[in-house]
């Protein structure tokens, strides 16, 4: 049995040729462009076949009779049992002229050569794209009914198939595969196409969000997906059946997936956040036209294109997200009956596709491999670094100063009380560390300016700034009506003081091309804790500034990390005697979070409960508000908050204890 194959070294072609050569006495004549013979040599080595069984025929799809020499034509006349035409552009982002040249004119030249060689059957591998954007189920007998052929890819696939149907003078069979992905066993794929365009988006979601966060997907479009091994098996089997000439076969899966389902299945393999909630795309049809146009006008095309470029998604792909067509494959299923050739469910092989993409096709795989290298240790990160810590004589600040000094950093401890500064300095020196103490009230701008002036005079720079000094007030809004100064003093220290330090030290960081600012925030910013409106508002202001500044300074080598601390057992919470009886973390544990920030340089460090609180406020704001309000009612304002003096309670109620354990680390 002799075969002529165009596109033999292409993705589907490689697998088809391997199957053809397994047949008794099979010989494959493969069209290869001059200079590409090495690809066929590689195939021979991989398939362990002799040169006389896999024969190179020099030619070019863009030339008449494919540019095949007269000698080769004479040798092959009457010898070809099956002529397979697979060579085409399968890329929806390719330019229109290239697609017309290859898909239409290339098919015309190929058909003429097959007729010249008097091939017994012409097998044209088309695509379901030949049906265009048909709204409904497109059957194997349908062709002229195709609609929505404005896109060059859809149009050229349709017109190439029309040539075979209307102009072929030899028997023909047409095969329309749907979206072809990698091998279902190995995941092997040769390029990014179809659903692969969204792998990068899933990867970025995985990088930035915990995988337990539920996301909202879009129930839109129909995506029929098949693995390449199924397509090759089906082609090989159907081509060799006696019946089938003059017919079309849909090499498609029995079911299609909507866009949200595809994304959710990919996310499951990537261990990225899933999309259990999906909105029907039709809901957007209910939005008034003037609103949609207004939103479109407010979204700069440059911004959209830049976002797509960052995700490696061609803009031309977006219009296919609402692909309306489904496919009937009764004839193909009947032809494959009893062969054991079936389309596996996407869920059964998605892991192989993801792993292969991540290891071989991900354009960022080299840099990601570098990221997977062992993180530097804390001593390596702080070697020769000058670290300034505010509020460094107690609690989190002191514990951090001791750990960083022990690791080899030069620690600048900043606080208001000289005695405590000397005490901390003494402890650091006992550890063999290097430190310098500076007295400063961070809530006073003049004091901050003097601090920075002195530090720069002494050391010339600060590499890492830890804005730890802070003031917390636990008081209900209803008890704050006459205490506007509560909001002023928390903002003065927690926001303006920290901001002043950043603005004074940042020019030197930018000039040197390196700097790391670590802002100690609160879990309350994520959970919107009741009774902490003054404190949380001041920390939220610093969070917002940090996000804006980080976006501007990322290319300057400046890192920002926000740590949303849970409840820490420090002197700051001492006035609230209730906290003596609820779960807290220790200052050493909090200091470990700061050390982690220095080593990893993440954008944010937060507990899972904190992140969940933020997500819940976004997804189910009313339910979350009810939960927080319940906590507010279970607990009460302290005597100090209401201006009274009362003894420390010996214990808390069972209800309060249960609530504290359930929402460990949240301020109540």
> Could you give the C-alpha distances from 308 to 16, 258, 364, in angstroms and in order?
34, 21, 15
Whole-angstrom CA distances from 611 to 535, 543, 566, 618 are 19, 15, 11, 11
- Give the active site residue among 90, 175, 535, 579: 535
d(CA 27, CA 51): 10
What is the maximum span of the chain, computed from C-alpha positions, in angstroms?
109
DSSP 575-631: T-GGGGGS--B-HHHHHHHHHHHHHH--SEEE-HHHHHHHHHHHH-HHHHHHHHHHH
As a whole number of angstroms, the distance between CA 206 and CA 468 comes to: 30
| Spatial contact of 127 and 90, defined as CB atoms under 8 Å apart | yes
Dist CA 201 CA 203 (whole Å): 5
Torsion region of 343: left, alpha or beta (phi above 0 gives left; psi -120 to 50 gives alpha): beta
Q: Within 13 Å, how many C-alpha atoms sit on residue 395's CB side?
A: 20
Its sign, for the CA torsion 612, 613, 618, 619, is positive
Quote the tokens at residue 26. Answer: 């099979």
* Close Cβ partners of 481 (under 8 Å, ≥ 6 residues apart): none
d(C-alpha 388, C-alpha 222), whole Å: 56
Burial class (CB in 10 A: 0-12, 13-18, 19+), 135: exposed
Spatial separation of the C-alpha atoms in residues 497 and 542, rounded to whole Å = 10
Please state, in angstroms and rounded to a whole number, the distance separating the CA atoms of residues 95 and 538.
53
Strands (E), 141-240: 172-177, 179-181, 216-219, 225-227
Is 535 a residue of the active site? Answer: yes
Give CA–CA dist 574/292, Å, rounded.
54
User: Which pair of tokens denotes residue 100?
Assistant: 């017309």
Region of residue 545 (left: phi > 0; alpha: psi -120 to 50; beta: else): alpha
Residue 488, token pair as written in the block: 């002023």
**Residue 528: CA atoms inside 13 Å, Cβ hemisphere, count?**
14
3-class secondary structure, 192: coil
Q: Residue with structure tokens 């980080």?
A: 550
> Phi, psi at residue 141, to the nearest 5°?
-90, -10
DSSP letter at 132 equals: B
Q: Where are the beta strands (DSSP E) in 273-351?
A: 277-280, 325-327
Nearest to 43 by CA among 52, 54, 35: 54
Tell me, rounded to whole angstroms, the distance of Cα 646 from its chain centroid: 53
C-alpha distances out from residue 66 to 62, 530, 591, Å = 6, 76, 71
Q: Which of 86, 134, 136 is nearest to 107 (CA)?
A: 86
Tokens 């329309």 sit on residue: 176
Please give the positions annotated as active site: 535
């Amino acid at each position: 049995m002799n075969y002529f194959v165009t596109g033999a070294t292409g993705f589907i072609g490689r697998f088809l040729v391997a199957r053809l050569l397994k047949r008794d006495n099979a010989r494959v004549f493969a069209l290869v462009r001059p200079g590409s013979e090495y690809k066929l040599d590689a195939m021979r080595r991989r398939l362990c076949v002799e040169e006389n069984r896999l024969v190179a025929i020099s030619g070019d799809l863009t030339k008449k009779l494919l540019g095949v020499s007269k000698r080769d034509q004479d040798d092959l006349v009457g010898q070809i049992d099956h002529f397979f035409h697979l060579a085409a552009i399968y890329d929806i982002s390719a330019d229109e002229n290239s697609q017309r040249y290859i898909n239409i004119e290339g098919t015309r030249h190929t058909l003429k050569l097959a007729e010249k060689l008097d091939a017994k059957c012409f097998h044209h591998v088309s695509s379901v794209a030949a049906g265009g954007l048909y709204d409904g189920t497109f059957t194997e007998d349908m062709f002229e009914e195709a609609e929505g052929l404005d896109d060059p890819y859809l149009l050229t696939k349709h017109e190439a198939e029309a040539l075979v149907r209307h102009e072929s003078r030899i028997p023909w069979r047409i095969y329309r595969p749907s979206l072809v992905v990698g091998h279902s066993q190995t995941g092997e794929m040769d390029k990014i196409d179809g659903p692969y365009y969204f792998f990068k988006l899933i990867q970025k979601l995985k990088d930035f969000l915990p995988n337990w966060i539920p996301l909202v997907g879009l129930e839109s479009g129909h995506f029929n997906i098949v693995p390449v091994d199924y397509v090759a098996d089906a082609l090989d089997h159907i081509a060799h059946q006696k019946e089938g000439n003059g017919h079309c076969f849909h090499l498609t899966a029995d079911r299609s997936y909507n866009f949200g389902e595809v994304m959710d299945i990919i996310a499951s393999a990537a261990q990225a956040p899933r999309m259990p909630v999906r909105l029907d795309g039709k809901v957007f049809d209910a939005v008034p036209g003037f609103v949609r146009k207004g939103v479109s006008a407010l979204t700069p095309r440059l911004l959209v294109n830049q976002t797509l470029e960052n995700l490696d998604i061609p803009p031309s792909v977006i219009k296919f997200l609402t692909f309306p067509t489904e496919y009937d494959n009764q004839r193909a299923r009947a032809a494959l009956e009893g062969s054991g050739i079936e389309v596996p469910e996407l869920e059964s092989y998605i892991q192989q596709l993801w792993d292969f993409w991540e290891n071989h096709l991900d354009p960022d795989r080299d840099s990601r491999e570098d990221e997977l290298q062992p993180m530097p240790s804390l001593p390596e990160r702080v070697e020769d670094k000058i670290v300034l810590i505010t509020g460094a004589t107690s609690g989190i600040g002191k514990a951090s100063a001791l750990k960083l000094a022990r690791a080899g950093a030069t620690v600048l401890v900043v606080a208001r009380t000289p005695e405590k500064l000397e005490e901390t300095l003494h402890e650091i020196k006992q550890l063999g560390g290097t430190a310098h103490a500076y007295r400063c009230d961070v809530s006073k701008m003049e004091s901050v300016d003097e601090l920075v002036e002195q530090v720069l005079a002494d050391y010339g720079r600060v590499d890492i700034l830890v804005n730890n000094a802070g003031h917390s007030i636990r008081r209900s809004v209803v008890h704050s009506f006459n205490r506007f100064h509560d909001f002023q003093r928390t903002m003065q220290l927690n926001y303006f003081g920290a901001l002043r330090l950043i603005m004074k030290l940042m020019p030197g960081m930018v000039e040197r091309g390196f700097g790391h600012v670590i802002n100690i925030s609160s879990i309350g910013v994520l959970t919107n804790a009741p009774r902490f409106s003054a404190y949380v508002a001041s920390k939220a202001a610093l969070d917002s500034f940090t996000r804006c500044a980080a976006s501007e300074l990322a290319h300057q080598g400046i890192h920002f990390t926000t740590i949303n601390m849970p409840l820490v057992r420090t002197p700051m919470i001492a006035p609230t005697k209730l906290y003596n009886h609820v779960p807290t973390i220790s200052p050493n544990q909090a200091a470990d979070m700061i050390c982690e920030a220095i080593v990893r340089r993440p954008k944010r460090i937060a507990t899972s409960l904190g992140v969940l609180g933020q997500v819940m406020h976004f997804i189910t704001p009313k339910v979350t508000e009810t939960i927080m309000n319940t906590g507010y009612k279970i607990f009460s304002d302290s005597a100090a908050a209401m201006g009274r003096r009362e003894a420390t309670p010996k214990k808390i109620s069972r209800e309060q204890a249960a609530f504290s354990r359930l929402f460990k680390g949240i301020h109540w």
